[in-house]
Amino acid sequence: MIFNAGLKNKRLSILAAASTTSSSPTAGKKFDFIIVGGGLAGCVLANRLSANPDVSVLLLEAGVNNTSRNIKIPVAFTKIFRSNLDWNLFSKKQAEVSDRQIYLPRGKVLGGSSSTNATLYMRGSAGDYDSWGIPGWTSEEALRWFKMAETNADLKDSAVHGSKGPYHVENPRYHNFLHEKFFEAASQIGVQSNPDFNDWRRPQEGYGTFQVTQEKGVRADGYRQYLKPVLKRSNLQVLTGSNVTKVVFDGSKAVGVEYIAEDISPMREIATAELNVGGEVIMASGSIHTPHILQMSGVGDKNTLAEFGIETVANIPGVGQNLQDQPAVLVASPLKKELDGKSMSDHIYNPRGRIRKRAILQWLLFGRGSLTSTGCDRGAMMRTDAAKDSAPDLQIRFVPGMALDPDGVSTYTRFGKFQQEGRKWPSGVTFQLVAARAAGRGSVSLKSGDPFDSPSINSGYLSDDEGRDLATLMNGIDIARQLACSESMSSVLDGEMFPGENISSPAAKEEYIRKTIHSSNALVGTCRMGTSVEQGDVVNSELKIFGLSGIRIVDASIIPRIPGGQTGAATVMIAEKAADMIVRGVPAAKVDPLEEFCASDPSADECRVYED
Ligand SMILES: Cc1cc2nc3c(=O)[nH]c(=O)nc-3n(C[C@H](O)[C@H](O)[C@H](O)COP(=O)(O)OP(=O)(O)OC[C@H]3O[C@@H](n4cnc5c(N)ncnc54)[C@H](O)[C@@H]3O)c2cc1C
C-alpha cells in the first residue's frame, strides 16, 4: 500500500500492484531522507522531517497499514499477540530459562510496537538518563523533549509535563474496586503512594496509577499521533508492506536501500530507493530489526559477517550486542466465591465468553470502561535488596483479572479455548513482577544470510553473573504474596493459583521463575550510543554510526542502559531530539539561546520549532 499527497489510497494500491522493480513506487526518484521502519520512532521522524516542504522523505514499513480495531481499542492488544500485526519472534533456547524459547512480541504495522503495546507512559527516573553519561542526553535535556512531545490531559504541572505535544497521555479510564484493594494493600505493607511516577522531583518508589498513552480511551500510538495527521504532505511518501533487506553503501557512505514489497512482488524482486546527495538513511526498525538489517548490509562484527558470506562495510562488533529487556513472572489468585463476577475480565466478557454490549457502549459513547484498559495500569515501583543502586529494581503491575497461565502472554491463547467451549474466565487478580532495571544482557545476530529469516536472539534473561535479576524476581514473588496476605487483599482472595502454595522453598521459586519467565516487552540497547567502537558502541551522541556517513540510527536500539519505566516514552524523546538535531544540524550537546529559553519553558509557543 502506498500513501501519498492528495491521491486516493485505493488508486495507488492498484498502481502499486502493477509495479515491477523497474516501475517500483520509488523508481526514478531520490529522497533527502529514507526512514527504515514506520514504528514509533519512524512516525515521529516522518512528521518532523517532512515539516519542511523542500525536503523529500520516504518511509518504508514492512508491516501493514494501521486500520485494525484491535489497535484502537486498548484492551484488544491481547488479540494482536502472534497475529499478522506481530513479527512472531522467539529467542533461541537458553539454559537459564529451562531451555525455553521466549516469545518476544514486536509490532509489524504503521506505528510499530506503539500500536501493539500496553500503553503505559513511564519515563523511568532522572538517574537512568544521567547514567548514560553522554553529553546532550542528560536527564535535563531528556525532560525537555519529554515535555515537548507530550500533551497530558490530567497532570498539568508544567515543570514535569507538556501540554502542546502530539503524544497524548491521560489517566486510565477504567476503575475496578480491586484497584482500591491493591492500593490499600500496598499501604498496609508499608509502601508510600506515588501520585506521579514521571515526576523526577520525588523518588520513583511507591504505589499508584500508571498513566497511559491514550486519548479519551483510544490508543494514542505513533501512527495516530504523528503520522496520520501529515499523510497528505506531498513531500512524504509512505510505503507499507515494504521489507528493507539492505542498506546500500558506496564505500563507507550510505546511498540508499534495497527493499522487497512481497504483496506486489511475490517473486521477491528487489526494489531500490536512492538518496539525494547529502541525504540520510535513518534506521528506525527497532531493537531487533535495526541491528539485523545492518548486519545483512555488512555493518557488524566482521568475523560473524564472514561466516555468513557477507562482505564487511564497517567492522562494528557492538551491532546486535547489549540487548536488554525487562523480564517478568507472575503471581495470580482467584477471588472469593461471593465476589465472582467482579474482576476486569467479568466486566468485558459475559459468562459464555462473549463481549458485553455494555462494555462496547461505554467505550463507543464515553471512551470509558473495561475496553480502555490494557489491564496493568495500576501498580508500584519498589526497591528490593537486589537493587544495584538507589533506584527501584522491581515494578509491580497489578491486574484486576486472573492470569490463566503462568506465562502471562499464554493466558490469551488459553482464554481463546475457554471461549470456544463457552466457558467463563475465572475471576481473580494478577501481580506481574517485572525486573525493571534488569542486568542481563543478550544479543541479536544472524541466523542465515536470508533477510527474511528472523535473527538469532539471545534474550539474556537471568544471565547476569551476580544473579540480581533472579533475586529481584524472587523478591517480587515474596512481595506479591505479602500484598495478597494483607488485610485488604486477603478479604477478597481465595488462595493462590500461580505459582501455587506448594511453591515455597527458594529452589522451587527459582524453578518456577526459570520455567515461566516472560517478556514485559522493553527491548532496547542493540546499537548502543556511546563514544567508541572499541567499547562496543555503535552510534555517537548525534546517532551517527561510527565510521560511516549518510546513515543514523534513531530508535530504541540506541539506548545504552534501559530506563526503569516502559520504553515507548524514551523512544519518542529520542526521536524528537534526533529530528531536531537533523533538521537544525545542531550537535547533541549544543546550547543556543532558544534552547536555553525552552529549557525553562518548553511548552512556550516559540519552542514549537516545527510547524505541522
Ligand atoms: C506487547 C508490547 C507491550 C509494550 N508495552 C509498552 C508500554 O506499555 N509502554 C511503553 O512505553 N512501551 C511498551 N512497549 C515498548 C514500546 O512499544 C517500544 O519501546 C517502542 O515501540 C519502540 O519503538 P521503535 O521505534 O524502536 O520500534 P517499533 O515501534 O517496534 O518500530 C519498528 C518498526 O520497524 C518496522 N520494521 C522492522 N523491520 C523492518 C524492515 N526490514 N523493513 C521495514 N520496516 C521494518 C516494524 O514493522 C516496526 O513498525 C511494548 C511493546 C510491546 C511489543
Domain boundary among 519, 538, 555: 519
Domain boundary among 475, 503, 519: 519
- The ligand 1 atom at the shortest distance from the C-alpha of residue 112 is 49
Same domain, 274 and 291: yes
Task: Report d(CA 187, CA 487) in Å as an integer.
Answer: 11
pLDDT band at 593 (very low <50, low <70, confident <90, very high): low
Name the region of 216 (left: φ>0; alpha: ψ -120 to 50; beta: rest).
Answer: left
Summary mean pLDDT of the chain: 93
Q: Is residue 551 part of a domain?
A: yes
Same domain, 364 and 493: yes
Q: Is residue 197 part of a domain?
A: yes
Q: How many CB atoms lie within 10 A of CB 102?
A: 24
If one compares 587 and 327, the residue with the highest pLDDT of the two is: 327
- Per residue in 263-278, pLDDT tens? 777 778 999 999 999 9
CA of 522 from ligand 1 middle (Å) equals 9
Ligand 1 atom 16, closest CA: 568
Identify the domain containing residue 352 by its residue range.
Answer: 174-209+326-519
Q: Is residue 137 part of a domain?
A: no
Task: Report d(CA 25, CA 260) in Å as an integer.
Answer: 11
Mean per-residue pLDDT for 124-142? 97
- The ligand 1 atom at the shortest distance from the C-alpha of residue 575 is 25
How many structural domains is the chain composed of? 2
- Per residue in 156-205, pLDDT tens? 999 999 999 999 999 999 999 999 999 999 999 999 999 999 999 999 99
CA of 499 from ligand 1 middle (Å) equals 30
Same domain, 205 and 265: no
Residue 7: predicted pLDDT = 31
Same domain, 404 and 364: yes
Cβ pair 444, 320 in contact under 8 A: yes
pLDDT band at 478 (very low <50, low <70, confident <90, very high): very high
Q: Is residue 485 part of a domain?
A: yes
CA of 29 from ligand 1 middle (Å) equals 28
* CATH code for the domain of 434: 3.30.560.10
Residue 421 has pLDDT above 90, yes or no: no
Same domain, 421 and 471: yes
Same domain, 401 and 513: yes
Residue 173: predicted pLDDT = 98
Same domain, 412 and 470: yes
Residue 497: predicted pLDDT = 97
Same domain, 345 and 269: no
Domain boundary among 487, 519, 551: 519
φ, ψ for residue 90, nearest 5 deg:
-135, 145
pTM for the predicted model, two decimal places: 0.94
Same domain, 384 and 280: no
Same domain, 315 and 332: no
* CATH code for the domain of 37: 3.50.50.60
Could you list the beta-strand ranges (E) of 241-270.
243-250, 253-260
Same domain, 195 and 229: no
- Per residue in 437-462, pLDDT tens? 999 999 999 999 999 999 999 999 99
Cβ pair 48, 610 in contact under 8 A: yes
Q: Is residue 105 part of a domain?
A: no
Q: Is residue 96 part of a domain?
A: no
